[in-house]
Protein backbone atom coordinates (compact mmCIF):
# COMPACT_ATOMS: atom_id res chain seq x y z
CA UNK A 1 0.00 0.00 0.00
CA UNK A 2 2.72 2.49 1.07
CA UNK A 3 0.41 5.50 1.25
CA UNK A 4 0.31 7.66 4.36
CA UNK A 5 -2.86 9.26 5.64
CA UNK A 6 -1.89 12.68 4.28
CA UNK A 7 -1.49 11.36 0.75
CA UNK A 8 -4.72 9.38 1.07
CA UNK A 9 -6.57 12.51 2.15
CA UNK A 10 -5.11 14.51 -0.76
CA UNK A 11 -6.06 11.87 -3.35
CA UNK A 12 -9.51 11.63 -1.75
CA UNK A 13 -9.94 15.40 -2.01
CA UNK A 14 -9.01 15.24 -5.68
CA UNK A 15 -11.44 12.40 -6.37
CA UNK A 16 -14.37 13.82 -4.37
CA UNK A 17 -13.76 17.46 -5.24
CA UNK A 18 -14.34 18.30 -1.57
CA UNK A 19 -11.87 20.12 0.64
CA UNK A 20 -10.92 19.90 3.35
CA UNK A 21 -11.67 16.31 4.21
CA UNK A 22 -11.23 15.16 7.79
CA UNK A 23 -7.79 13.77 8.57
CA UNK A 24 -9.33 11.59 11.29
CA UNK A 25 -11.82 10.08 8.85
CA UNK A 26 -9.07 9.67 6.24
CA UNK A 27 -7.10 7.63 8.77
CA UNK A 28 -10.10 5.40 9.51
CA UNK A 29 -10.97 4.98 5.85
CA UNK A 30 -7.40 4.16 4.91
CA UNK A 31 -7.35 1.54 7.64
CA UNK A 32 -10.65 0.17 6.34
CA UNK A 33 -9.17 -0.18 2.85
CA UNK A 34 -5.94 -1.81 4.03
CA UNK A 35 -7.03 -5.44 3.72
CA UNK A 36 -8.62 -5.00 0.30
CA UNK A 37 -6.60 -6.31 -2.65
CA UNK A 38 -7.28 -3.05 -4.51
CA UNK A 39 -5.35 -1.15 -1.82
CA UNK A 40 -2.09 -2.42 -3.30
CA UNK A 41 -2.56 0.22 -6.02
CA UNK A 42 -3.12 3.20 -3.70
CA UNK A 43 0.45 4.38 -4.18
CA UNK A 44 0.05 4.34 -7.97
CA UNK A 45 -3.26 6.18 -7.71
CA UNK A 46 -1.73 8.84 -5.47
CA UNK A 47 1.30 9.27 -7.72
CA UNK A 48 -0.83 9.68 -10.82
CA UNK A 49 -3.19 12.18 -9.23
CA UNK A 50 -0.41 14.17 -7.57
CA UNK A 51 1.40 14.17 -10.91
CA UNK A 52 -1.45 16.18 -12.35
CA UNK A 53 -3.22 13.43 -14.25
CA UNK A 54 -6.88 14.21 -14.81
CA UNK A 55 -9.12 12.17 -12.46
CA UNK A 56 -11.35 11.18 -15.41
CA UNK A 57 -8.33 9.56 -17.09
CA UNK A 58 -7.60 7.67 -13.90
CA UNK A 59 -11.23 6.54 -13.74
CA UNK A 60 -10.93 5.16 -17.27
CA UNK A 61 -8.04 2.91 -16.20
CA UNK A 62 -9.59 -0.53 -15.63
CA UNK A 63 -6.79 -1.38 -13.17
CA UNK A 64 -7.72 1.54 -10.87
CA UNK A 65 -11.45 1.84 -11.44
CA UNK A 66 -12.48 -0.41 -8.53
CA UNK A 67 -10.07 1.28 -6.13
CA UNK A 68 -11.43 4.71 -7.07
CA UNK A 69 -14.96 3.40 -6.56
CA UNK A 70 -14.06 2.10 -3.09
CA UNK A 71 -12.51 5.42 -2.07
CA UNK A 72 -15.60 7.31 -3.24
CA UNK A 73 -17.99 4.90 -1.52
CA UNK A 74 -16.11 5.37 1.75
CA UNK A 75 -16.25 9.15 1.61
CA UNK A 76 -19.83 9.39 0.40
CA UNK A 77 -21.43 6.64 2.48
CA UNK A 78 -18.97 5.95 5.31
CA UNK A 79 -18.72 2.18 4.84
CA UNK A 80 -17.70 -0.52 2.42
CA UNK A 81 -19.41 -3.60 3.81
CA UNK A 82 -22.37 -3.99 6.09
CA UNK A 83 -20.72 -6.49 8.40
CA UNK A 84 -19.77 -6.06 12.05
CA UNK A 85 -16.07 -6.47 11.21
CA UNK A 86 -16.22 -3.61 8.69
CA UNK A 87 -18.73 -1.42 10.46
CA UNK A 88 -17.53 2.09 11.09
CA UNK A 89 -18.94 4.39 13.72
CA UNK A 90 -21.89 6.73 13.50
CA UNK A 91 -19.57 9.67 12.89
CA UNK A 92 -18.64 8.16 9.52
CA UNK A 93 -22.30 7.71 8.66
CA UNK A 94 -23.18 11.24 9.71
CA UNK A 95 -20.13 12.68 7.93
CA UNK A 96 -20.83 11.01 4.59
CA UNK A 97 -20.60 13.43 1.67
CA UNK A 98 -23.82 11.91 0.31
CA UNK A 99 -25.92 13.98 2.69
CA UNK A 100 -24.64 17.28 1.37
CA UNK A 101 -25.18 16.15 -2.21
CA UNK A 102 -28.86 15.39 -1.58
CA UNK A 103 -29.26 18.41 0.73
CA UNK A 104 -30.57 16.27 3.57
CA UNK A 105 -29.52 15.11 6.97
CA UNK A 106 -29.00 11.50 7.96
CA UNK A 107 -32.02 9.84 9.55
CA UNK A 108 -31.59 10.12 13.29
CA UNK A 109 -29.61 13.38 13.12
CA UNK A 110 -31.93 16.30 12.54
CA UNK A 111 -29.83 19.19 13.74
CA UNK A 112 -32.99 21.07 14.62
CA UNK A 113 -34.96 21.69 17.78
CA UNK A 114 -37.90 19.49 18.63
CA UNK A 115 -40.83 20.45 16.40
CA UNK A 116 -38.74 22.38 13.84
CA UNK A 117 -40.27 20.32 11.04
CA UNK A 118 -43.64 22.03 11.54
CA UNK A 119 -42.27 25.23 9.95
CA UNK A 120 -41.21 25.82 6.32
CA UNK A 121 -37.47 26.01 5.67
CA UNK A 122 -35.88 29.44 5.54
CA UNK A 123 -34.14 28.74 2.22
- pTM, two decimals, is 0.77
Q: Which of the residue ranges 9-13, 24-28, 104-108 would you say has the lowest mean pLDDT?
A: 104-108
pLDDT per position as a tens digit, 43-53:
999 999 999 99
Task: Considering only CA atoms, give the Rg of the chain.
Answer: 16
Q: Is the dihedral of CA 83, 88, 89, 95 positive or negative?
A: negative
CA distance linking residue 102 with residue 108, whole number of Å: 16
Cβ atoms 48, 58 nearer than 8 A:
yes
Residue 78's region, left for phi above 0, alpha for psi from -120 to 50, else beta, is left
What are the tens digits of pLDDT across the range 66-114? 999 999 988 988 877 655 555 567 777 777 888 788 787 777 666 667 7
Q: Rounded mean pLDDT of 35-57?
A: 92
Amino acid sequence: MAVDVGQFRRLSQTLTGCTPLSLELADRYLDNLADRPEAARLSELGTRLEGGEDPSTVLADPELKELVRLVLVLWYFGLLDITPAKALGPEQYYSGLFWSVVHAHPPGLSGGYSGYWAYPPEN
